[in-house]
Amino acid sequence: MLIQCGARTDLGRVRKNNEDSYKILPALNLYVLSDGMGGEAHGEVASNLAVETVIAHCQQAENNGETPIFGEPLPDVTERTNRLNSAIHLANRKVFDMAEANPEQRGMGATIVAAWIDGQRLSLAHVGDSRAYLLRAGSFGQLTADHSLVAEKVRVGILTQQEADASELQSVLTRAVGTSSEVQVDVDEQMLLVGDSLLLCSDGLTRMVTDPEIASTLLTSTSAQEAADRLVELANDYGGVDNISAIVIRVTRKPEGLLDRLKIWKRNSG
C-alpha cells in the first residue's frame, strides 16, 4: 500500500487567530489534529502543545521501547494503539499543568484526533469533537463519536440530529484535553483497504459543510491535497465562522516496478 496525504488549516472568515493545530510525521504515518479553546491565544497554545506532545511521545517510543506508558494500558488493542492512548494522556497532563501554572491560561483545553497507520492497520484515538471519517467504495461514515453535550443527547434520543445541528450548544464539550487532571480517551482500530480515504478534521469544517458534500469532495478530488484545499474553501464559502483544518489520507496501491512486472509476466506465461 502507498499512503498519500494532503493537509490544510485556515483562519476562516471570522476569527482573529487560528486555534487549530496539526502535524504529520510521514516516516511513521502518524497524523494528529487539534482544536484549541480558551480564548485569546490560549487555545492556540493548548492545541499546539497537545499536537507536539503526541508526536514527540510516539516518536520517542519508536526509538526507545522503554518509553513510559501514561494512563492505563488497554486490553485487546495493539501496542501502537496503546501508545496513542498514552500520548494523549501525556498531552492532557501537560496542557493541564501549564494552565495550573499560569493563571491567565486557566480553563484552556483542546480537542484531539490522531491516526497512526501501520501496514493496513489504522490506530485511532480522540477526545472532543474533532472527527475522523472513512470513505470506502462510495460509503462515507464517521469513525469517531463526538464528546459534546448535543451528541450525547442525540445518542440517548433526547435530540434528533437535525435539532443538534441547529443547537446553540454545539460547542459545549463533555470531554477535552487539559481541562482536568485526567481524561478518558476513545480508541479504535480499523483495517484499511486500497482505495480508502481517511479524513481528520476540526468542527470548523463539519459545522459548515454537510457529510454528503464532504464525501463528494473526497470522491471527485484528484489528489489528497486538492481534497483538503477544496474542503477548507467550501467551509469558507459557507461563512467560515470558525478555524478550519483538514487532513486527507488516501490509500493507494504501490506502482509496480520492473521486477514486479517481470514476475507477473513469468507467472502468467507459465
**Residue closest to 241 by CA, chosen among 209, 198, 219:** 209
What does the pLDDT read at residue 268?
A: 59
> What's 2-269's CATH class?
alpha beta
Please write the tens of the pLDDT for every residue from 105-157.
Answer: 988 999 999 999 999 999 999 999 999 999 999 999 999 999 999 999 999 99
239: left (phi over 0), alpha (psi -120 to 50) or beta: left
Return d(Cα 215, Cα 134) in angstroms, integer: 9
Return d(Cα 169, Cα 209) in angstroms, integer: 18
Please write the tens of the pLDDT for every residue from 58-70.
Answer: 999 999 989 999 9
What does the pLDDT read at residue 256?
A: 62
The structural domains of the chain, with segments of one domain joined by +, span 2-269
- Check whether 252 has a pLDDT greater than 60: yes
- Check whether 223 has a pLDDT greater than 70: yes
Q: What pTM was computed for the model?
A: 0.92
